Structure formats: C-alpha cells, structure tokens
Amino acid sequence: MSPRMSAVTMPSLIDSMSDGVISRWLKREGERVERDDELVEIETDKVTMAYPAPESGYLEIVASEGATVSVGELIARLSSTPPVRAGGEAGGQSPHEYELEPEREPELVPEREPDAERLPGGPGVGGPVKGGETGGEVRATPLARQLADRHGLRLTSVDGSGPRGRVTRSDVSSSLGLAPAEAGDPGDAAGGDAAQELSRLQQTVARRMSEAHATVPDFQVETEVVMDAALALREEFKLLGGEEPVPSLNDFVIRASALALRAHPRVNGSFEEGRYVLFGRVNVGFAVASADALLVPTIADADARSLWDIAAESRRLAERVRLGAITPSELASATFTISNLGMFGMTAITPIIDAPQAAILGVGSLRDTLALEDGSVRVRRLITLRLSCDHRILYGADAARFLSNVRELLEQPLRLLR
C-alpha cells in the first residue's frame, strides 16, 4: 500500500506576497514532524518568520535553503510512512522513498581550546549551548547566520536576545565587538570601502521608496503645535498612576491623526488606476527603526480606540519589532503613516509617502520657544508637523484642513479622551 503524501507549498503570509525565500529548515530530512510544529523559516519582503507544518508526517525537502519560491509552489512533502533505510526491503518502494546513510559509530569530538571562540574556517565544535539552541539547532535570524559565517563565529557561543532565545544580527555584532558599520563585508586593510548586501526587507524598502519618489507628485504642508496642554495632561496621568501605560506624545499624535482622518476621508484614501479609493477603516501605521530597516506596524481601527488603548498597542508593536517577532499581519493594511524623529532631536522631517497611501505625517522634536502673549513673554513648547501629500488625490486646501484639525486636537487634548 502506497504511503499517503501531503504537499507543503510556499504560503502567502501577507496579501502582497508573491514569493518567499527558504531561510532555514527547522526539521531534518526524513524527520517525523507533527502538525503545527515549526517547520521552516521563510523570509518575506517584510519579516522572517517560522511556518508550521500543515500536517503530520515524515519530511521530504524539495526546496533547499536560500531558494526563492513563488507562493503556491511545492517546497516539501510529508509522508505517512518513514523513509526506507539502507538494507531494508526494496519491494513496494514508491519514488519518494529514499535511503538513509548507514548508522555510524559516534565520533570522538576533541575539546575546544579555550581561545577557540572564533575560528577562521567557520563553526567549531564543543562549547556551551547558547543562543536558543535546542537539540543541536541554534535559533538565529538569516542575517545573524550570514554575519557569524563571515567572521567564523560559532552561534552556540552567542546569547540570543530575540524571542525564545533567537540570535539576532545585533547579538552577533556585539559578540564580535563590531560597530554597526563594521557588520558588513570588510574593506581592505587600509580602511577602504565596505560593501553590505541588502536583506529582502531592505531591498523592498529601497524599491518602494524609489518608486514612490519617482511616481508620486508630492507636496508638503507644515504647522507648529503648542503642546503645553498635552504635556500638562500627561503629567496628570502620571500622578493618577494605575496599571495602564502613560500615553506618549506620539500616542497623542496617533489619536489626533486618527480622529482627523475620520473627519477628512480623502486623506485616508489612495489614488489607484485613475480613481480615488477611500478606505473604510482608519489604520494608522507608525515607523519603528529595527536593527536592519524601518518597519511600520499598524494600529488597526485607531479612530475607535481610546488614547490608553493606543498607548498599550503602540508599545506592544514597537517591542515586537525590536525583538524581531513582528508578523506580516501586524505590518499590513495601514491607510496612513506617522514618522516621528523627535526622539533624535530633529526639528522636522519630510517623509516619503508610503504608496499607495495618500499622505504621511512627519513629527519633529519638542522644543522650547518664547512667545509674546498679552504683552508678556512666555515659554511655549512646540512640535513641528509636516504632511507629505499625493497631489493626485489631495490638494493644498485638503491638506491644510486636515493638518489644522490635527493641530486643534493636540492643542485641546481633552477632545482626545472622548
């Protein structure tokens, strides 16, 4: 009786995904796999994530690590019976059955020298189990593996800071004592240029930003917002205490933008194939710097969430980006984006529109200014908001009305508590 075979195809992890890269198989050829076991790490143009086995069975790998496979194409098979071992009965073998190498006597492994942490020829032997190692496998991101291989570093010697002890590129860089600029391909001994290959995520960001800058006729409007009332309200929240996180100024901006988007639906829209598309939901994305690129997690239905709910969700998503645990669904479906560089002391930012969105809001740093009010000089704390707009769907008056609405909400922050 022939064994039952189940096909494992490249999954569509996100709506816009057309293909993915087999980053690493998490199970070995011929190994028994249970349904929902983590089977393979797949690298998309947004994140690298583990994909679970859709069925139980014995694994036959079709697509090798590093292969780019279109969505829906075969990457593996799962058989109901184990592979035929060498010396077993040959009768009734089906084409998928293969022989395993004869079992060998275990080899004696010499102890690692105390100073053999880094070996020029690649991974060494021995040493402590670190970096989320289980059963001889080290959990690590593809970029971490590439960097470790380049410098001959054993991943088992690296403590992972990612989810479940996964080793990240920054963990490897720290272990090697490399500055960020040194993590690329080394230059010559005289301090020449260093080349660094782009990850799929970095390639996607570069391509999309180039396309947006070249094809979207954009313009900007700018305003300054007096944040004194919002800052005073935050101080009151701090005094009240409680388990809920105190909203940051960026949370105030997200909430104000969401309410303004609901009032100005064309800003929450897109120009696509000669027509306007007005999105039914207000999903606000906010830019977060990861180790290797800029990611934009999305707060879905932000207009229907309270300020405290937005504060909790933005912290959760930002932490998942930093841990490398963000999923494609958490990065999808944004209808508007906010990019805040205020924490770096930048006065203003002119961000590039994330097409097909109609606009993106840049937020600058909080700064003290002197203002003349009723004949007296007072200190006022301001931020600069700069809105980049797609001129095919938004005009100057549309953008000005929207940004004025955001400013009014931030200057009267009690309106954000409704």
DSSP single-letter state for residue 87: T
- Strand segments, DSSP code E, in 195-293 are 218-226, 269-272, 275-278, 284-286, 288-289
379 SS3 class: strand
Angstrom distance (rounded) from CA 231 to CA 219: 30
> Which pair of tokens denotes residue 209?
């930003």
Q: Does domain 1-108 have CATH number 2.40.50.100?
A: yes
At residue 193, the pLDDT reads: 66
Distances (CA, A) of 409 to 223, 244, 295, 310, 412: 13, 22, 27, 16, 5
Give the pLDDT of the chain (418 residues) as one tens digit per residue.
567 888 999 988 776 677 888 888 999 999 999 998 989 988 876 677 788 899 999 999 999 888 888 888 999 999 988 876 555 543 333 334 444 334 444 444 443 333 333 333 333 333 333 555 444 567 777 677 878 877 888 888 888 877 667 788 778 888 887 755 455 544 444 455 666 777 667 777 787 788 888 889 999 999 999 999 999 999 999 998 878 889 999 999 999 999 999 999 999 999 988 899 999 999 999 999 876 678 899 999 999 999 999 999 999 999 988 887 888 889 889 999 999 998 889 999 999 998 899 999 999 999 999 988 888 899 999 999 999 999 999 999 999 999 999 999 999 999 999 8
Q: Which fold has domain 201-417?
A: Chloramphenicol Acetyltransferase (3.30.559)
pLDDT digits (tens, 9 = 90+) for 178-225: 755 455 544 444 455 666 777 667 777 787 788 888 889 999 999 999
Instruction: List where CATH 2.40.50.100 sits in the chain.
Output: 1-108
Q: List the end-to-end C-alpha distance of the chain, in Å, as a whole number.
A: 67
Angstrom distance (rounded) from CA 83 to CA 97: 5
Contact present, 382 and 364 (Cβ < 8 Å): no
**Residues linked to residue 389 through DSSP beta bridges, in sequence order:** 219, 359
For the chain, what's the residue count?
Answer: 418
Angstrom distance (rounded) from CA 158 to CA 154: 7
Cβ neighbourhood burial of 78 (10 Å; 0-12, 13-18, 19+):
buried
Contact present, 341 and 335 (Cβ < 8 Å): no
165 SS3 class: helix
Largest interatomic CA distance in the chain: 101
Angstrom distance (rounded) from CA 4 to CA 201: 37
- Please, which residues have CB within 8 angstroms of residue 411's CB and are 6 or more apart in sequence? 225, 226, 227, 229, 230
Q: Residue 366: which of 236, 221, 230, 237 has the closest Cα?
A: 230
Instruction: List where CATH 3.30.559.10 sits in the chain.
Output: 201-417
Pairing of strands 74-79, 57-61: antiparallel
Q: Residue 171: which of 200, 131, 134 has the closest Cα?
A: 131
Angstrom distance (rounded) from CA 304 to CA 363: 22
